[in-house]
Amino acid sequence: MFSEGLSLFIKLQVFFMTVFDQDALRELDLYARNFSGRHYNNIGICLSKFHRRGDYNVDTAIGFIERNLVMPAAKDYLLCHGSMTQSLRNTFPKAMRTRVAEMLEESFRAEFNLGNYWN
Do the domain assignments include residue 56? Answer: yes
79 lies in a domain?
yes
By residue range, what is the domain housing residue 81? Answer: 21-113
For residue 110, with 0-12 CB atoms within 10 Å meaning exposed, 13-18 middle and 19 or more buried, which class applies?
Answer: exposed
Q: Evaluate whether residue 46 is within a structural domain.
A: yes
Residue 73 lies in a domain: yes
pLDDT at position 32, please?
Answer: 92
58 vs 5, higher pLDDT: 58
- Please check whether residue 46 is in contact with residue 61, taking contact to mean a CB–CB distance below 8 angstroms: no
The whole-number pLDDT of residue 85 equals 81
Number of domains in the chain: 1
Higher-pLDDT residue of 24 and 51 is 51
Q: How confident is the model at residue 23 (pLDDT cuts 50, 70, 90)?
A: confident
Is residue 70 within 8 A of residue 32, CB to CB? The reply is yes
73-106 b/e (C-beta count within 10 Å ≥ 16 → b):
bbebbbeeebeeeeeeeebbbeebbebbbbbbbe
CA–CA distances in Å: residue 56 to residues 17, 71, 106, 111: 32, 21, 13, 14
Is 45 inside a domain boundary?
Answer: yes
118 lies in some domain = no
The answer to whether the beta carbons of residues 41 and 4 sit under 8 Å apart is no
Q: What's the predicted TM-score (pTM) here?
A: 0.79
Would residue 76 count as lying in a domain?
yes
